[in-house]
Structure 1
Amino acid sequence: MYSVLLVDDEPHVLAAWSLILVNEGHGVTCASNGVEALECLKHQVPDLIVTDWVMPLMDGLTLCREIRAQTRLAHIPILGHSAAPPADVLQPEWNLCLKKPVAVSLFLTTVGNLCKGAV
């Protein structure tokens, strides 16, 4: 199906969403912060990036800005996924934001829609 880069500093969040996405047939790569995510993006371009907002080393906003500044990556849809999203959740750096916790059905529907370009 689709390839997804998950970025979150909470290992249990990465493990849970990774398992759910893999069970749905998606390919998943995980990174625990923005620096690791950018390293992953040097080697593969996913269909979707799902990122937390508050992380060590490089936060979600900085990661999104770095991605949008690179021509090779700027087209990738980005889903913010955070317990503490910014006040303006419709940041130009990402396509959508879901507040943690989020229902599995909503998460999967949103992932599918973003990958298909339906959002």
Structure 2
Amino acid sequence: MDDEPEILAAWRLILENEGYQVSCASNGAEALACVVAHVPDLIITDWMMPIMDGAELCRRLRSMPLSVNVPILVHTAVPPSERDAHYWNACLLKPIGADRFLTTIAKLCTPRC
């Protein structure tokens, strides 16, 4: 999820072309509702979002039994605090190339996705 529609659309297209099934959300609250409706194999989130930011989303996801073991990739321009690092599995700083992004996703998905 990302609050920038252009970034969301671009990554969605790239991931779908790689064979991944993708659901998108424009903020953390919307993403949380999506996860409750259908638990994904991987969650990719921005850190800075309206309504519910990535930090709160990650905290809530880790507190819910249905999503506690789902890998989380933070994709952000603003580095999150290291004290919150236990809430996610990987963090990539924007801008990031597609190769590194896809390699990180593949590592996080194996063998789940």
Deviation at 1:89, TM superposition (A): 8.1
Superposition pairs of residues 1-119 of structure 1, within 5 angstroms: 7-88=1-82, 91-116=85-110
**CA distance in 1: counterparts of 2:38 and 2:83, whole angstroms:** 27
**CA distance in 2: counterparts of 1:30 and 1:75, whole angstroms:** 20
Question: Residues 52 and 81 of structure 1 are in contact (CA less than 8 Å); yes or no, is this contact kept in structure 2?
Answer: yes
Q: TM-score, normalised by structure 1?
A: 0.89
Relative to total residues, which structure has the larger helix share, 1 or 2?
2
Deviation at 1:42, TM superposition (A): 1.6
**Runs of 4+ that moved beyond 3 A:** none
Q: TM-score, normalised by structure 2?
A: 0.94
Q: Deviations over 1:21-40 (max 9, x none)?
A: 00000000000010000110
The one-letter code sitting in structure 2 at the alignment partner of 1:82 is: T
Relative to total residues, which structure has the larger strand share, 1 or 2?
1
Distance 1:32 1:18, change over 3 A: same
- Give unmatched runs, 5+ long, in structure 2: none
Distance 1:111 1:90, change over 3 A: farther
Question: Residues 11 and 32 of structure 1 are in contact (CA less than 8 Å); yes or no, is this contact kept in structure 2?
Answer: yes
- What's the C-alpha RMSD, in Å, of the aligned pairs? 1.3
Q: Deviations over 1:43-82 (max 9, x none)?
A: 1111100000000100001000000000111000000000
Percent identical pairs in the alignment equals 54
